[in-house]
Structure 1
């Protein structure tokens, strides 16, 4: 599909020449000779030009007035102005309104082509960025916090209200895995700062010196190894949101520096003398009780009170197990799409085991369990044997794997990834069935073709394999 160029030019010869030239260059060209005609094309005919090439002074007014009037009423387009008599006020106003360039007539056609090509690239990049922002805005609406429990409904209501007000700081509390990161993204991408960056920092993941440098930035030579200037994350989040996860782990002296930045709305890089203005919304999260820490002197009370303009506490999953009814199908659908599986049926005995578990890892643990089960599924039924919930006895994977009360045990501490688990299970099943493909396939509840594919995929030695038809 060809990009659209709108030309606004009252000189007939020039307008004709430009229209013919850019049509031959692959553009879909619309030509207006007056501002009223151009306004009708943009607003009434809903034309979506990528680039607007306009004379500055038209018979019925100044083109800058039209640019200002239509801003925000159509997809992003770059404006490029041509004028026979440039004036400083007009050029300043054009740039202030966001015009791409301001050229004086007569303009060499080759030079104009270069500027038009550059402006088109800029417009496409801006449109891609706006599309991504719109997608994130839809993805992270308040409805993204799923759950039918009263607690989940209250969280959704508060998130929706917070996205409508320009708050400066907020504390998100809750146990590990309850969705603090999701809540932070909802607050950013659903709020007024969505077109500015969201910068995330886990305060527990970095040592003190590196945390200070990353947060506040540094000048070249500020310390050994600082060879170049580095803008800190506070600067990088200017205009947007800074999400400080596990803020309770931040050293007290850095808490004091952070408080000064929030109060003064200025940041000074390490080794620097200049204070840089910043406008940042702070979202602070912790799985610890910051209020109690402040009382005990383990967290600065002044910073705590400055951050707690609002407080959002997320419920533990064991307290809202009715939310499983919405969360589990949601995760199943997600991993079906990612892995090409077709899990559609969740047996009642699976639901019973899910509801009986206390979920110490909360929603994160639930998501990992569902991922494992969907990836190991063989048909449309959610496989109970892969739940592997602590304290619960899992049913056997296949008849031969439970002979003599023997079972395969897999670690759930992250030391073995799903791909390795799959390989290990197949390898052990083959050994216990004397490398007989047909018997192993029956034991694993799969087909010989599927088993052969996985044997080849994992590079298991074929020399020992018996391809019996039994």
Structure 2
């Protein structure tokens, strides 16, 4: 039931309003003084959907009470009634977030319309609050699943950073390692969870269109701009902007983004007025931005601005012990979505999953398990739909040895640099991290291999020999 608090010192009017809205199904409390209303709302924690308040009461001003209530964190749509209100009173009511300021004697038709609008606004706000609470549970740090030390480190970093006010975070790692999930954890577990989460893949737009997407544009700013458009920075005000694949952004646009981040203000394309925003930036890249900055293919000043906090996300190959908890979680999710009853995973399937190199990481694992669950017909995860044959080593009888081969997908799941890094890492593993032996196997020099090890940020253990 929707609740209403009426604050009105005119006893007859207050009683009439109370009876009127009770007949319409509202649960109504009536206070004749601010002291009584303060006791109900602040001391006892009453949270009315709508407050209908006189402005001038025997023990104070309704506007002052609204300010006190807002400072206490109490929501609710506030409607003022007054026989005489100045322009400044009306302006202050708007500044404090009041829904409307109605004159006495009351126009009941207008009051009914305003109350209905207030109820709709309250319901919408409650839906947003419920959604935010659901997302907060869904995207807690524990959502980064895994029992490995690598997964535990990521969870710990996400949990720590989510508890402090930060202006920017950089998420690095191969495609499919969970950068989008990490960004949502940082937002929904942090102090900005009530604000919007806005994301964009920078690689999905050409330069001019990405600029309009980020900063918005005014009507007539360019051909086809028929109306004003609020950019993603503006839409993310008070929340988080997630820029995926930021390494693909044009250098000129990087400069404009840097200035917007530093000043917390910007102009729309074709606009003259500066728009102030309060935005937390989470950037992500599957490329080495430090290396790109050294090559002058990414602005070094922007890199230093966004990498104050950097969270490297490990590949699935670096945490294969996490495959089992990930698979169990994915099976639960897809069972619920598709109404399936998969309960067991055969040993042969576990063997295939652990033997595979997972160039597409957790995203690829998710796709594989989704396919298997959706095509299942019983309680067992079917092996025939794994589709991992393309990654298996060639038949040793047909080749010198399985260890002489490295298979890579050509389905777009890996970028060229990722393939290069994967080849080098795999070769190092097969040669026990002996750099000289690995260089010979790859047909390159020891110096070139060391340069690429450094370029791709491979672990210190891989520099040992």
What is the aligned partner in structure 2 of residue 81 from structure 1?
Answer: 80
Q: Cα distance, 1:75 vs. partner?
A: 6.8
Cα 1:335–1:28 shift into 2, 3 Å: same
What is the aligned partner in structure 2 of residue 56 from structure 1?
Answer: 55
Cα 1:210–1:333 shift into 2, 3 Å: same
Cα 1:220–1:91 shift into 2, 3 Å: closer
Q: Cα distance, 1:76 vs. partner?
A: 3.4
Cα 1:113–1:312 shift into 2, 3 Å: same
Alpha-carbon separation, structure 1, partners of 2:201 and 2:98:
39
What is the aligned partner in structure 2 of residue 464 from structure 1?
Answer: none
What is the aligned partner in structure 2 of residue 381 from structure 1?
Answer: 380
Give 1:106-185 correspondences, 5 Å limit: 106-185=105-184
What is the aligned partner in structure 2 of residue 295 from structure 1?
Answer: 294
Q: Cα distance, 1:381 vs. partner?
A: 1.5
What is the aligned partner in structure 1 of residue 3 from structure 2?
Answer: 4
Alpha-carbon separation, structure 1, partners of 2:380 and 2:73:
48
Give 1:355-366 correspondences, 5 Å limit: 355-366=354-365
Q: Aligned to 2:203, what secondary structure does the other structure show? A: coil
Q: Aligned to 1:191, what secondary structure does the other structure show? A: coil
TM-score, L = length of structure 2 = 0.79
Query: C-alpha offsets along residues 159-183 of structure 1, whole Å, 9 cap, x if unaligned?
Result: 1111122211221100000010111
Alpha-carbon separation, structure 2, partners of 1:3 and 1:158:
42
What is the aligned partner in structure 2 of residue 255 from structure 1?
Answer: 254
Q: Aligned to 1:221, what secondary structure does the other structure show? A: coil
Alpha-carbon separation, structure 2, partners of 1:48 and 1:226:
44
Give 1:408-423 correspondences, 5 Å limit: none
Comparing 110-119 with 28-37, which one deviates more in the overlay?
28-37
CA-atom RMSD in angstroms? 2.5
Cα 1:229–1:29 shift into 2, 3 Å: closer
What is the aligned partner in structure 1 of residue 27 from structure 2?
Answer: 28
Q: Cα distance, 1:140 vs. partner?
A: 1.4
Is it true that 1:215 corresponds to 2:214 in the alignment?
yes
Q: Aligned to 2:278, what secondary structure does the other structure show? A: coil
Query: C-alpha offsets along residues 275-330 of structure 1, whole Å, 9 cap, x if unaligned?
Result: 33333222111101111111122211121111111111100011101112221111
Alpha-carbon separation, structure 2, partners of 1:87 and 1:213:
42
What is the aligned partner in structure 2 of residue 371 from structure 1?
Answer: 370
Instruction: Give yes or no for contact 1:184–1:243 (8 Å, CA) kept in 2.
Output: yes
Instruction: Give yes or no for contact 2:357–2:391 (8 Å, CA) kept in 1.
Output: no
Cα 1:178–1:156 shift into 2, 3 Å: same
Instruction: Give yes or no for contact 2:78–2:98 (8 Å, CA) kept in 1.
Output: yes
Query: C-alpha offsets along residues 3-39 of structure 1, whole Å, 9 cap, x if unaligned?
Result: 2222222322112211111122222222233334334
What is the aligned partner in structure 2 of residue 241 from structure 1?
Answer: 240
Alpha-carbon separation, structure 1, partners of 2:7 and 2:367:
57
Query: C-alpha offsets along residues 224-250 of structure 1, whole Å, 9 cap, x if unaligned?
Result: 333333332222222322211111111
Cα 1:224–1:341 shift into 2, 3 Å: same
What is the aligned partner in structure 2 of residue 41 from structure 1?
Answer: 40
Cα 1:65–1:224 shift into 2, 3 Å: closer
Instruction: Give yes or no for contact 1:75–1:127 (8 Å, CA) kept in 2.
Output: no
Alpha-carbon separation, structure 2, partners of 1:360 and 1:112:
62
What is the aligned partner in structure 1 of residue 398 from structure 2?
Answer: none
Q: Cα distance, 1:413 vs. partner?
A: 5.2
Alpha-carbon separation, structure 1, partners of 2:167 and 2:47:
37
TM-score, L = length of structure 1 = 0.78
